[in-house]
């Protein structure tokens, strides 16, 4: 009877623990980017709610270290999109931080990315159809640049406004290369219509791709709005 009671209590505790949302980093990409007098750390991550309840992004930390393990710089500005994820849903996060003391690439030897979540109360994510995702290299006579784009379609019976789009570039093996996002708040999509959304890829990233023979193979995009529940 005593053993049965212990087993029952353990099951109840485990059941309570599982009945919550939990953000987990599925994969991440860290790049040390050179600038004229310093270097910066860029991190991109794919995150997933591995719990069985909605979870809301509650902050994070990117910390960088030298070869001796000393913390040399950090930032708690982490962008995570969507900010609210249902059970099993995936999103993306990114951050960057300059390290003025890093005059050489090797000065930034390691990093740690922490992502935290909390129970989502009163907010939820409504996803919007997105198709025709592209990585577009635009070449002009004297310069060039790269965009990522996607067609966002409103399949509801109301105008969609204040939506977000997060883009992720991956290589042929599905490994994450880059993340960016935009919120075209000046755009409203009428019912039954669609709009092309595009945003510029950081030129430092495209230069990094070229220098390291990296070719993005796929573009993923998530489009959504955050709904405040009454």
pLDDT digits (tens, 9 = 90+) for 136-145: 999 888 889 9
What residues have CB less than 8 Å from 30, skipping those under 6 apart? Answer: 41, 42, 43, 111, 113
Residues 53 and 114 in one domain: yes
Residue 33 lies in a domain: yes
Residue 166 lies in a domain: yes
pLDDT digits (tens, 9 = 90+) for 128-179: 999 999 999 998 888 899 999 999 999 999 999 999 999 999 999 999 999 9
pTM score over 0.85: yes
Q: 24: domain range? A: 16-119
Backbone angles phi, psi at 217, to 5 degrees: -105, -30
Give me the CATH number covering residue 89. 2.60.40
pLDDT at 190: 96
Residues 36 and 83 in one domain: yes
Report the b/e string of 61-83 with b at 16+ CB within 10 A. Answer: ebbbbbeeeeebbbbeebbbbbb
Residues 160 and 181 in one domain: yes
Residue 4 scores a pLDDT above 60: no
Query: Which residues does residue 160 pair with via DSSP β-bridges, in sequence order?
Result: 189
Residues 108 and 131 in one domain: no
Mean pLDDT of the region 104-119: 96
pLDDT at 30: 98
Residue 102 scores a pLDDT above 90: yes
Residues 212 and 158 in one domain: yes
pLDDT at 121: 87
Residues of the chain above pLDDT 90, percent: 84
Residues 130 and 109 in one domain: no
Q: Which H or E element spans position 56? A: strand 55-65
Residues 141 and 213 in one domain: yes
Residues 153 and 218 in one domain: yes
pLDDT at 5: 35
pLDDT at 7: 36
Residues 62 and 135 in one domain: no
Alpha carbon of residue 141 to chain centroid: 34
**Contact between 90 and 96 (Cβ < 8 Å):** no
Residue 194 scores a pLDDT above 60: yes
Q: How many domains does the chain have?
A: 2
Residue 34 scores a pLDDT above 80: yes
Q: Which of 59, 92, 119 finishes a domain?
A: 119
Minimum mean pLDDT among 10-14, 72-76, 79-83, 88-92: which range?
10-14
pLDDT confidence tier of residue 14, bands split at 50, 70 and 90: very low
Q: Which of 79, 97, 119 finishes a domain?
A: 119
Residue 59 lies in a domain: yes
What residues have CB less than 8 Å from 221, skipping those under 6 apart? Answer: 130, 133, 148, 150, 165, 166, 167, 168
Residues 153 and 194 in one domain: yes
Residues 151 and 59 in one domain: no
Residues 139 and 109 in one domain: no
Name the token pair of 105.
Answer: 């690439």
Residue 11 lies in a domain: no
């Amino acid at each position: 009877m005593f053993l049965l009671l212990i087993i029952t209590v353990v099951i109840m505790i485990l059941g309570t623990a599982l009945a919550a949302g939990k953000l987990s980093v599925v994969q991440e990409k860290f790049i040390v980017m050179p600038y004229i007098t310093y270097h910066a750390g860029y991190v991109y991550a794919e995150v997933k709610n591995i719990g069985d309840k909605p979870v809301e992004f509650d902050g994070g930390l990117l910390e960088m270290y030298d070869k001796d393990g000393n913390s040399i710089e950090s930032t708690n500005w982490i962008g995570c999109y969507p900010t609210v994820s249902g059970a099993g849903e995936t999103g993306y996060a990114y951050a960057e931080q300059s390290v003025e003391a890093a005059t050489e690439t090797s000065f930034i030897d390691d990093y740690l990315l922490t992502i935290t979540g909390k129970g989502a109360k009163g907010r939820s994510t409504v996803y919007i159809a997105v198709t025709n995702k592209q990585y577009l290299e635009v070449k002009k006579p004297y310069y060039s640049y790269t965009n990522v784009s996607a067609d966002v379609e409103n399949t509801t019976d109301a105008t969609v406004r204040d939506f977000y789009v997060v883009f992720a570039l991956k290589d042929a093996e599905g490994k994450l290369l880059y993340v960016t996002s935009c919120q075209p708040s000046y755009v409203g999509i009428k019912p039954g219509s669609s709009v092309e959304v595009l945003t510029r890829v950081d030129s430092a990233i495209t230069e990094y791709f070229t220098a390291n023979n990296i070719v993005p193979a796929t573009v993923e995009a998530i489009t959504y709005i955050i709904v405040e529940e009454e």
